[in-house]
Amino acid sequence: MTVRPIRIYGDPVLRTECDPVTAFDKELRDLVADLEDSVRVAGRAGVAAPQIGVSVRAFSFNVAGQVGHMINPVLSNLEGEQEDDEACLSLPGLGFLTKRAMSVTAHGFDQHGEPLVIEGTGFLARALQHETDHLAGRLYIDTLTGDVRRQALRELRRVSPSPQGR
């Protein structure tokens, strides 16, 4: 079991758009195993490859006891709206009300290159959107607006006085 350390806000890999996966080989299967091991830690709902320092379009999720992964995800059918507290392993100790679509369909591939479609509602939809954002170099705080965004940025400066990538 390889639980990889999580990269923290300020690490440039978190703000870099990830490369698509082109080789479905042993190296990718090892990465997926590490992602899935890393997401099985209690309290984790998702881990994206850049969060463990690998800039490729892959993530794992752990929602309602279902552990899985997706390679090269593309989201569609974003419908409805939900607003709930959201947090991120790369921004420890912070959490803010964040708007997301209530339902989403994620299209991508499994670790063997087989097509994969995941339809998510509620918390699974939130996790799929959050992890896919990581692959584009976006963090959930980037989606915040108004007073919540101002509060988040103040808190971020308080806990990380000189972050890179802002």
Pick the CATH number of 12-159 from 1.10.10.10, 3.90.45.10, 3.90.850.10, 3.40.50.300: 3.90.45.10
Reported as a single tens digit per residue, the pLDDT across 1-56 is 699 999 999 999 999 999 999 999 999 999 999 999 999 999 999 999 999 999 99
Reported as a single tens digit per residue, the pLDDT across 93-137 is 999 999 999 999 999 999 999 999 999 999 999 999 999 999 999
Does the annotation count 131 as an active-site position? yes
Q: Tell me which of 83, 119, 131, 155 is the catalytic residue.
A: 131
Domain ranges of the chain: 12-159
| Cα distance between residue 40 and residue 60, in whole Å | 9
**What are the binding residues?**
88, 130, 134
Place of tokens 């995800």: 73
**What are the binding residues for Fe cation?**
88, 130, 134
Q: Say if residue 164's pLDDT is above 80.
A: no
Reported as a single tens digit per residue, the pLDDT across 49-77 is 999 999 999 999 999 989 999 999 999 99
| Cα distance between residue 67 and residue 65, in whole Å | 6
